[in-house]
Copies of this chain bind each other. A is one copy, B any other.
Amino acid sequence: MASEPETGETTAAPNPKRLEIVGLGSGGLNGITLAAQKSLKSAEAVYGYGLYLEQARPHIKKARLHQSGMTAELKRAEAALDSAWGGLRTVVVSGGDAGVYAMAGAVFEMAAAKGLPLGRGPGCLRIKVIPGAPALVAAAALLGAPLTHDFCAISLSDRLTPWELIERRLALAAQADFVIALYNPRSKGRDWQLGRAAEILRGELPPARPTGVVSRAGRAGQEVTLTTLAGLTETPVDMQTLIIIGNQSTFVYHNYMITPRGYLNKYGDDLV
């Protein structure tokens, strides 16, 4: 099974059918990478949710823009695949990183469902994912350095995942002493999940555990709140909020949330 996927940058691709899935980064308009800018510059068609198309627009030279709603992920993926398969150099844009709870999954799922031949060979579609900073690290950057040790990301959306599995992950993550990042804590129509999640975490962790709440990192309306696990449910949270709960070593210093690199020799030696 050992083999190199067709996404590497080592050799030139003779194949003209290309789809790129581009993460625009987090933390504002300056979060975009050089690689993402290059991809957008040469695109002939760009697909995305309205907010992300606006963010990409200054870097687009000639592409036609195809806007779709936030929840139309599979339809957008299919339309973009059809565009690339038809010969247009096509880009799908995502906020943050395209692979973290984002469009890369929908595109590959849809390509597999349609049975498209992927790869660099003749008659194949070449799909390339261009990384960006995910919301997780943008939120962490505003809080200080909470992700310096082992961490996990859990989405509280139970639209596509059984709630029982989410509860189980929360409990096990707390028992594992992970720094815990919670995505999608609340949305229209999902209003009880965060309260229940906090209850489960309070069953495993002390109420004073440092907890950061970040909304709209680097965008208009940015909010950064440093609180505790006990204070989490009193902090305003919406669809664009990311929550980070510290591990047993996380501490607060001058309003920054800091997770030390190790459990041994805290200020001792410098070994990695």
**Interface of A with B (CB < 8 Å)?**
1-10, 23, 25-35, 38, 70-75, 97-102, 104-113, 117-119, 127-134, 137-138, 140-155, 157, 159-162, 165, 168-169, 172-173, 175-178, 184, 187, 218, 222-228, 231, 235, 251, 253-256, 258-267, 270-272
Q: Decide: B160 and A265 in contact? CB cutoff 8 A.
A: yes
Q: Decide: A155 and B150 in contact? CB cutoff 8 A.
A: yes
Question: What is the bound-complex CA distance between A90 and B140, given in angstroms?
Answer: 20
Q: Would A25 and B133 be within 8 Å (CB), given that A8-B224, A145-B104, A153-B151 are in contact?
A: yes
Q: How far is the CB of A226 from chain B (nearest CB, A)?
A: 6
Q: How far is the CB of A177 from chain B (nearest CB, A)?
A: 7
Oligomeric state, in number of copies?
2
| 15 extra A-B contacts, CB within 8 A, seeds A100-B137, A104-B144, A172-B175 | A5-B224, A7-B141, A10-B222, A25-B33, A27-B35, A97-B133, A99-B145, A100-B140, A101-B147, A134-B137, A152-B176, A160-B265, A165-B263, A172-B172, A172-B176
Q: Would A5 and B255 be within 8 Å (CB), given that A74-B270, A109-B267 are in contact?
A: yes
Residues of B within 8 A of A97 (CB): 133, 137, 140-141, 147
Closest B residue by C-beta to A77? B270
Residues of B within 8 A of A228 (CB): 1
Q: How far is the CB of A171 from chain B (nearest CB, A)?
A: 9
* CB pairs A–B below 8 angstroms (30 shown): A2-B225, A2-B235, A5-B143, A5-B256, A6-B255, A9-B28, A10-B222, A25-B131, A28-B35, A31-B34, A73-B272, A99-B145, A99-B147, A99-B148, A100-B137, A101-B261, A105-B148, A108-B258, A113-B267, A118-B256, A127-B144, A150-B169, A151-B153, A159-B262, A159-B271, A160-B261, A162-B264, A165-B177, A172-B175, A172-B176
Residues of B within 8 A of A72 (CB): 270
Q: Decide: B176 and A168 in contact? CB cutoff 8 A.
A: yes
Residues of B within 8 A of A262 (CB): 159-161
Q: Decide: A71 and B272 in contact? CB cutoff 8 A.
A: yes
